[in-house]
């Protein structure tokens, strides 16, 4: 069998394909990455290819010095350390797909990257946590309309399950199983479960947020019995058949934060997840049980939330400051 050795760069993307591979083979090759990662890499590789073209460089194969110049350009125009790291990963991924030498495996480049990280800093800008008290304030601002009912269910369930927004909008009615103590929700695929083994989250009825009741009210009023749980409501007040987009979760969150008089710019879709973890930590919940609900695999991430939540509890200086 003749070896596959040719490669071309896909137009407008910058990601390479190996000539001779079938569409299905390429699809499986790309499926090794999450769809969100694929989208980010396509964008990053495309930006790198565009920059190279503008400056007279060849993006494939690229030299370590060209990659460092590109990353330096990104740093000087204000890109965050996390964004630069993702750009680097996309370039590495593109070259591996093309069967080319990895230009990021270079000590000079690594030294330059360390300098960039030292100069711009690596501390992430974290969104504010929408704790139980904040969530209650948001729920009070939702109107008594079909859209308001959807938003109440979206916010309450997103908080109660410590869901990522992608997990939340991916839910189908078939993923919901009633239980005497609440609701069992099947997350079929997540950031930490790309192969789709699935994980079940328990959502209690609750006495204050009442996520199960709010979800049931939305489904009943919207007459949703199958398919996507969360859907758009058009201007005529009719529920559409399609699934709600992930960006809508962010918009809903910011809308009600502004309505509650909060600085909406400090909140995002992740605030619901962070809010659950923070509230659970404040109430003394066990680390393992918090991780059961959030789906975190690395306890260090959750410990960070716990430390912030309990920063003043049992403070070493509380007895003499």
Q: Are the beta carbons of 49 and 9 closer than 8 angstroms?
A: yes
Catalytic residue numbers, as ranges = 164, 191, 270, 273, 296, 305
Give backbone dihedrals phi and psi of 202, rounded to 5 degrees, phi first: -95, 130
Q: Return the C-alpha torsion angle 167, 170, 173, 175, nearest 10.
A: -50
Distance CA 5, CA 23 (A): 17
CA angle, 54 then 57 then 62, to 5°: 130
Please, which residues have CB within 8 angstroms of residue 87's CB and are 6 or more apart in sequence? 44, 47, 48, 70, 71, 74, 79
Tokens 């974290």, located at residue: 126
């Amino acid at each position: 069998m003749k070896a596959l050795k040719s490669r071309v760069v896909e137009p407008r993307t910058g990601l390479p394909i190996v000539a001779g591979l079938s569409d299905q083979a390429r699809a499986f090759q790309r499926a090794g990455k999450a769809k969100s990662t694929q989208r980010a890499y396509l964008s990053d590789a495309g930006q790198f290819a565009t920059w190279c073209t503008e400056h007279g460089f060849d993006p494939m194969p690229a030299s370590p010095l060209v990659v460092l110049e590109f990353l330096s350009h990104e740093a000087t125009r204000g890109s965050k350390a996390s964004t630069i790291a993702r750009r680097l990963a996309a370039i590495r991924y593109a070259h591996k797909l093309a069967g080319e030498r990895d230009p990021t495996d270079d000590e000079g480049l690594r030294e330059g990257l360390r300098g960039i990280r030292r100069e711009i800093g690596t501390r992430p800008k974290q969104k504010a946590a929408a704790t139980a008290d904040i969530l209650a304030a948001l729920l009070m601002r939702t109107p008594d309309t079909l859209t308001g009912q959807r938003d109440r269910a979206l916010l309450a369930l997103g908080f109660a399950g410590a869901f990522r927004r992608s997990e939340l909008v991916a839910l189908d009615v078939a993923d919901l199983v009633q239980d005497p103590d609440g609701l069992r929700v099947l997350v079929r695929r997540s950031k930490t479960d790309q192969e789709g083994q699935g994980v079940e989250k328990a959502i209690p009825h609750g006495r204050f947020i009442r996520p199960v009741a709010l979800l049931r009210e939305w489904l009943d009023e919207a007459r949703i019995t199958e398919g996507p749980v969360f859907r758009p409501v058009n201007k005529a007040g009719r529920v559409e058949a399609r699934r709600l987009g992930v960006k809508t979760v962010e918009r809903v969150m910011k809308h009600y934060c502004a309505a509650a008089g909060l600085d909406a710019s400090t909140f995002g879709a992740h605030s619901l997840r962070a809010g659950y973890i923070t509230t659970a930590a404040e109430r003394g919940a066990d680390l393992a049980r918090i991780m059961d609900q959030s789906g975190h695999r690395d306890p260090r991430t959750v410990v960070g939330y716990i430390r912030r939540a309990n920063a003043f509890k049992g403070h070493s200086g509380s007895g003499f400051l």
